[in-house]
Amino acid sequence: MTQVIVLNGGSSSGKSGIVRCLQAVLPDPWLALGTDTLVEAMPASMQTSDGGIGFASDGQVVVGPEFRTLETAWLEGVAAMARAGARVIVDEVFLGGADSQQRWRKALGELPVLWVGVRCDGAVAAGREVARGDRIIGMAASQAEAVHRGVEYDLEVDTAHAESMECARSIAAHVK
């Protein structure tokens, strides 16, 4: 039985909308957790130190060792919730591509996971980024393909060609 759904896609690719739709269409309650939750939980000083997380003016994201330490604890915590019986949808941005997925694989261990790639053409995501007004311009374009490099998925959806609900229904059909 699927315990964790990991959605990976770049900024403004549509992951959060899919998560909300998944919570609406899946028959059991699922917790929604993601990288934005982790970053928001960190002290503001983590965004001003070299060891934390930095957002460059061109949209690049740089993470340091203090961020990685907290991220490891976060991954283990999410995995512990799933092992305790919670069904979890993870909204993630694999900045390190395959290396990021490997960190999740290590934390999740033998838990049944559905790995989902959320693709979106960089130009479409960039347009959404501008419309949102809460992201650094350039983040969506720089992440659109990079987050998928070397990542293995059970399923991929494309939000440039399908609405969030359609993507969620496609994902839900693969949940056991």
pLDDT digits (tens, 9 = 90+) for 63-80: 999 999 999 999 999 999
Q: Is 36 a catalytic residue?
A: yes
Among candidate residues 68, 16, 8, 80, the one with its CA nearest the CA of residue 38: 68
More confident residue, 134 or 32: 32
Average pLDDT, the chain: 96
pLDDT of residue 62: 92
Cα–Cα–Cα angle for 69, 119, 75, nearest 5°?
Answer: 20
Res. 59 pLDDT band, cuts 50 70 90: confident
pLDDT at 136 exceeding the cut of 90: no
Q: What is the CA radius of gyration of the chain?
A: 15
Distance of alpha carbon 9 from alpha carbon 146, whole angstroms: 9
More confident residue, 49 or 90: 90
pTM of the model: 0.95
Among candidate residues 136, 132, 76, 80, the one with its CA nearest the CA of residue 103: 76
pLDDT at 133 exceeding the cut of 90: no
Mean pLDDT confidence for 119-140: 93
Which of the following is catalytic: 36, 121, 154, 158? 36
Per-residue pLDDT tens for 12-32? 999 999 999 999 999 999 999
Percentage of residues in the chain having pLDDT higher than 90: 91
Distance of alpha carbon 53 from alpha carbon 130, whole angstroms: 22
pLDDT at 167 exceeding the cut of 90: yes
Q: Which range is most confident: 22-26, 50-54, 128-132?
A: 22-26
Specify the 3-state DSSP secondary structure of 65: helix
pLDDT of residue 135: 83
